[in-house]
Each structure stands twice: as structure tokens, then as C-alpha cells.
Amino acid sequence: MAGTIEDKATADYVAQKFRDAGLDTEIVEYKVWINYPAEISVDLTAPAGVAMHGPTREHVDGDPDDNDPRVVMPFNGMSPSGDAEADVVYANYGTPEDFEKLDKLKVDVHGKIVLVRYGQNFRGVKVFVAQEHGVAGVIIYSDPADDGWRRGDKYPDGPWRPDTGVQRGSVGYMFEFPGDPTTPGVASVPSLPDSQRISPQKSAQIPTIPVTPLSYHDVWPVLQHLGGADSPREWQGALPFTYHVGPGPAKLKMHLKQDYQFRTLWDVIGRVRGSGLPDEWVVAGNHRDAWVYGAVDPNSGTASMLEAVHGVGELLKSGWKPKRTLVFASWDGEEEGLIGSTEWVEQHEADLANAAAYFNMDVAVSGTKFGASSVPSLKQFLRDVTKVVPSPKGGTLYEAWQKAAQPDAASAQSPAEAIGDTRRLPAAQVKGDVPVGDLGSGSDYTAFLQHLGVPSSDVSSSGPYGVYHSVFDNFAWFKKFGDPDFVYEQQMARVFGLEAVRMSDADVLPYDYEEYGKEIVAYLDAAQKRAKDKFGDHALDFNVVNAAAHHFESAGVKILAKERNPPTDATRMNHALRDAERALLVPQGLPHRPWFRHVIYAPGEYTGYAAVVIPGVNEALDKGDSERARQQLAVLAAALERAAKTLEGYR
């Protein structure tokens, strides 16, 4: 866990591996505001004669590691301390629609403790919506319908969540800004004076109501003793009784005392200086901090990254040098709020103005199904990388990926989506090729792409994974269910290493702005339809922005043709390609969210991890604010014209 002595020990270990491979390595410290749990209890105080005292210690017979006294008790990062005692209301997944439904059922959530289940959206969004509705406290639990016995056998017989398994996780409002909650836009270097920090009590990232997670073992008697109306049928989970919405008679008493302090984080940064273009960085990173053991999240990624670094070390020994500077990063504090990556990006804003790409890995392996998400300009690059990587299933990874992406296979809800870890959405098929998703938030690419406009991607191999953020995400689980022979680990090491090496050595930056243009045209078509539904046929004029999108697309088509037939000196072409993504940033940021400066991608305020595309426009439409939508269409049109002219600047 970030900031602990075990975290420092793993930083030293990773730094040694980087040095062994010949990387110029440093451990970079930041001082950031995060919480550990001090006292956490949730007790059932009514009806009389029914008892529940949680959180129960996570345990199954047969697990070798769940009894270590250092295992942190279940809690939510960024929850404030607080006490609440109130009748309970069940609010399904805690989406805005779920709260509307309660309103229609005449269930008042004001001052109540709201019980919601994990899944469908980022946990911080559940809390944000609850807070807007005047809720006194939030309990988030894992229902067996979402990642427990309804999905399959539970651990240790199968990969799904056992009765006492709890999902920890941050409830920080990362869609406001990620990183240290006291330093938006500023790096939390140890020498930063307190006067340049905002007070935690004023930070828009920290919820104002207490929140804590429980297992379905613990919430069972709570749900069982809710009265009121039957819940809507789609709200029914997999516990063996009918779920009612309440309020009461079940009443809970929450007591949360969080130990908030400025704690030290340790990013490990290893560099290989570029031989030709040392000021152009290619960054590849993965976080290292976990909630408990984190065999899958994030250490399946760290193991793959270390093997990729080992491979780069062998290349260096053979005399190879990258053309651009290669930077490998082991981020700290991702789980609390993408902190290590965000602070480093904020510190290196000037250096990263020339960066060619950021490649992320987080959960590298939880199963056998490959998936990727990226900015559209890198989608074809990713497909090309997978064409030279062997699949453990036989053939190339590209072929295995295509096979798994057939419509019938793709329609099933992925386990990641079921538990709310929806980092990637299924993408529209462009060019009829294998789909690559869009980047929302939820991992360390956020600051690179959405704050600085560095083209980014995220890759993983996923499968049935019900132990996310619990004590059971450990080596025993991984050996039995994740990747028993470590062959998918090898696959991901090859993908990650090839991304970095190919990009660092590319003569012409392998960006495809034709695909980017096509996707933006499609986003605008969808937004225009929504605008017509909301405001009628002619309320909003899309002509200017549509023309700008087509201009960007045709500039993309033209430069792609030139990329296929490049001049001997591609410097000017590369600058145009590199600066086009930055042209999609706006200095003032999104409405109410100045840290987020990218006009095409942002995490949604009401979806969390999942991407909102053309967020300025789409969130104005969500709010029914036609004036803001009009203004955001103009901002978007100007950005697209700027990006088109950047591409056309190369002739």
C-alpha cells in the first residue's frame, strides 16, 4: 500500500531491476495527503435482536495469505472520517438514474445511510451522486450477482469473490482532478511549501460524507431487514430473499476514523537516453502500489514491465540505442487517486511537451482475453504490434484478438465491467478492424493524455476476476486462476516492450489521424442526434463544428498518405504529427474542471472511469444546457481547426 515500508521495499527492488538492465534510475519522492483506516466499524442497531458488526475479517479456508496481521482492514481511500446513524435505503448501483427511481418511489434518502452495490460505475461517482442527494453516509458492498457465486464458483474453488471478500478502493472525485488532493496542477515535491497547497477540507476531490465498503456476508442481515416497497426487479441481487428499498427498519451506525497524513510516495523512473532525439520521450509505465498483495492489480503489470525492461537491457548490451529517450516508470499511489503519475506529469510538463507517447499497463493479466484502448491515432499502431506477438493460444496475438472480438463474443458483459472497473468501453468498429476502446480514466494515462495531450494507450489480458482489491488478489489466486504458466505474462511483456521500442525508434511517428478524424465525426453525429432529441431540430447549429471535423479528417487522410511515403528527413512531418494531439487541448480546461484540458476525452462526472467523448458538448447536453452546449461546440470547432492546420502545416 502506498507510503508503507513494504511500498519502499518494492521501490528499491524495482529500481535494482532497472539498474541491472542498464537504465539510468532514480527514486522520486512526493509528499501527498492520503488516509489509512484507524477505526472502522459498522453496526446494525435495529431491528432489535438482529446483530451485525463489520467489517468481518476476510477469510476462506485454504488461502495461505489472508491471515497476515499487516493486511489493511477494508476501507475506502479518500473517505472522510465521520459518524452516522440512520435508517438504511438500498439504492442499487447508485447511478443518477437509480436515485431518480427512488425519488419516483417517494423514498427520501436525505439524512439516510445509503447502501449501494459495486458495479456499473466508478465508486467515487456513487458517492458524488449520494452526496448531491443529501445522504448521511454510504456503504458500498459486493453483491454475489456481480462478482460472486452468480458468476461462478467462488474462491478458493473458483475465481469469484467469496462471502467475506471486500473491494477496497478510492472514492476520491478524480473526475474533478486526480493526484494529491491538496495540489491540483502542481507537483507535490517534498520542498513544496504548505502555503502552495489547498487545505484538504476545501479540496474538491475529497467527499464530504463518510463511505466504507463491506462484504455480502456483512450486509446480508441489513438487506434482509429492509422494509418498504419491493425494489425494481432489475435491482435484485443474488442473496436469497427479495430486496426492498427501505427506509429501515434496518438501521446502521457507522463510525469511521481515518488517519490522514502527508505521506511519502516513491516513483521509480529509469531512462535510456535517446541517441538521435534525446528530448523526445517515450514513456511506459505501470503502478506498483496495491491495496493488499495486488498479484493481479498491479503486479501482473509490474512483472510484465520488469520483463520488458530486462529485454531492453539485452538490446542495450547488444549495442542497440533507442533514437528517442525511453522512460520506464513504476508509479506509486495509483490506488488512492493516480497520484504518483499525476505529480510526476505535473512536475515534467515542459519536458513532456515533446513526448511521443505514453504506454500504460495496470492489470496486465487476470485471464486470457486481450483488450486495448488508446487515442484513435495509436489504434492501428497497437494492432500492428500484436501482429508480431505470439499468442499462447497459437498463431499471433492479433489473430486471437480478432477471434475473441467477433460480435457474439464481444456482446457478453466483461468481468471488469461487472465490477465497475470499466476502464475501456467497447469501441465502434472503424475500418472493420478489431476494435480498440477509448480512454476514460481509472489508470495512470490520465494525466499524460487529459492534462498534457500526450498520445496514450492501455493494454491488458482479462478474465474471470472476482477478487479485485481484496486480500484474495494474491499469488495463490494468480497461480490457480490468473495465469498458471505465466504465458500471458510473457505475451504482455512483449506487447509492452514492443510498444516502447518501436515508438522510440520510429523514423516517422506511427500516428493515424485519418482514424482519429473518422471517430470524431462519429462522436459528433451521435451528439447531434441527442441534441435534436433534447432541444428540437434547429436549436443547435452543428454546421461549423462538422465542417471542422471533416477538415481535421481530410488533413489526417493527406498526412497519412505522406507518412507512407516519407521524406529522408522526417523532422518537420514528425513535429506536425506530434503537435496535432496537443492542439486538441484548451488552456482553460473543461467547464468547472480546469485540470482536464482535452476536448475529445475526459472521465465523465457521472460515469467515472468510462470515457465521455467530446465531454464539453456531451455534458452540456446531459444537463440540458443549450447555451453551454453552443459555447462548447464553438470551443471544439476551434480546437479541431487548430489540429487540422497543425497537420496541414507540413507540406
Interface with Zn ion (CB under 5 A): 297-298, 362
**Of 505, 503, 570, 494, nearest in space to 321 by CA:** 505
User: At 140, which helix (H) or strand (E)?
Assistant: strand 137-141
Three-state DSSP class for residue 317? helix
> Burial, 351: exposed, middle or buried (Cβ in 10 Å; 0-12, 13-18, 19+)?
middle
Whole-number minimum distance, CB 265 to Zn ion, in Å?
Answer: 15
Beta strand 24-46 with 53-54 is: antiparallel
Active-site residue, selected from the candidate residues 334, 417, 515, 619: 334
Question: Whats the size of the chain, residue-wise?
Answer: 651
In the complex with Zn ion, the residue whose CB is nearer, 138 or 363, is: 363
Whole-number minimum distance, CB 266 to Zn ion, in Å?
Answer: 17
In the complex with Zn ion, the residue whose CB is nearer, 284 or 629, is: 284
In the complex with Zn ion, the residue whose CB is nearer, 58 or 297, is: 297
> Burial, 628: exposed, middle or buried (Cβ in 10 Å; 0-12, 13-18, 19+)?
middle
Beta bridge partners of 25: 270
Whole-number minimum distance, CB 569 to Zn ion, in Å?
Answer: 41
Q: How far apart are CA 482 and CA 464, in angstroms?
A: 8
> Burial, 303: exposed, middle or buried (Cβ in 10 Å; 0-12, 13-18, 19+)?
buried
In the complex with Zn ion, the residue whose CB is nearer, 35 or 300, is: 300
In the complex with Zn ion, the residue whose CB is nearer, 209 or 425, is: 425
**Of 275, 325, 286, 292, nearest in space to 308 by CA:** 286
Whole-number minimum distance, CB 289 to Zn ion, in Å?
Answer: 8
Beta strand 357-365 with 277-287 is: parallel
Q: Which residue bears the cell 531491476?
A: 17
Q: Which residue bears the cell 476462506?
A: 60
Q: Which three cell numbers stand for residue 551?
A: 477538415
Q: Is 314 a catalytic residue?
A: no
Three-state DSSP class for residue 84? strand
In the complex with Zn ion, the residue whose CB is nearer, 297 or 619, is: 297
In the complex with Zn ion, the residue whose CB is nearer, 176 or 421, is: 421
Whole-number minimum distance, CB 287 to Zn ion, in Å?
Answer: 6
Residue 614 vs residues 442, 581, 584, 609: alpha-carbon distances, Å: 18, 14, 11, 15
Beta strand 601-603 with 456-462 is: unpaired
In the complex with Zn ion, the residue whose CB is nearer, 176 or 297, is: 297
Residue 73 near residue 42 (C-beta atoms within 8 A): no
Q: Which residue bears the cell 436469497?
A: 240
What is the distance of C-alpha 52 from the center of its chain? Answer: 33
Beta strand 456-462 with 357-365 is: parallel
Catalytic residue numbers read: 334
